[in-house]
Amino acid sequence: MSQHSDPRARGPVDRRRFLTSAALGGATIVGASALGGLDPDAAFAAPTPSLDPAVAETSFAEGRVAGRNGSVLEVAGSYGESHRIQLTNATSIWKVHPTTADAIEPGDGLYARGVAMPDGTIAADAVWVNIVNLACTIRGIGRDRLELAHGGHPVTGRVSPGVTAASYAGAALTSDLSRLRVGQAAQVLGAWRPKDDTVDVVRVSVGH
């Protein structure tokens, strides 16, 4: 996304853009693949019909994690609404990489896709925690970080071996970051860290 597409977005309009650009989820608990992909890009994909004919409509939620009651996440939405997100054995959870529910903390941003249950709970097939996809300009390059500018705001991107990869002009991802340059426009996919307002960089794309 070229616009601010960030669960921690600073205003309701930006949050809405984030939501409307994401895939939505269905009516009974179904296999995750019936509702769309599970990788980080799936969070920003255009909505697509469910592949499961039993699922008439998909559901989604976004907001901040307020608490957890067993396998149910209590989520405060951007517009004052609240959501209850049921995690199941089939729920795919992403937070920098595929992980488990134990990695979800109060205060995290969350985007969930799933199936609306009769009691209003959303049974999630996929949950992306703190995911961001930012159009940035590279302002500085360090061994373990990228200094970025996004929408007039400075952002520190954390670079981690084995996690951070680059794509140059649409080529395949590589761990070689040596071709990044100060002043380049970049698309950064990663996960925001609420505690220090930095971003774990998963992928940085330049020259596209």
Q: Does position 166 have pLDDT exceeding 70, yes or no?
A: yes
Q: Tens digits of per-residue pLDDT, 88-144?
A: 888 899 999 999 999 999 999 999 988 888 888 988 889 999 998 889 999 999 999
Q: Please determine, looking at this structure, whether the domain spanning 131-206 carries the CATH number 3.30.930.10.
A: no
Indicate whether 74 pLDDT > 60. yes
Question: In angstroms, rounded to a whole number, what is the distance separating the alpha carbons of residues 22 and 178?
Answer: 32
Do 40-129 and 131-206 fold alike per CATH? yes
Positive/negative CA dihedral, 47, 15, 9, 76 = negative
Distance separating alpha carbons of residues 113 and 122, to the nearest angstrom: 8
Q: Is the entire prediction scored with pTM above 0.95?
A: no
Going from N- to C-terminal start, the domains of the chain cover: 40-129, 131-206
Give residue 152's pLDDT.
84
pLDDT at 105: 94
DSSP 101-134: GGG--TT-EEEEEEEE-TTS-EEEEEEEESEEEE
The Cα 158–Cα 204 span in angstroms is 11
Class of domain 40-129: mainly beta
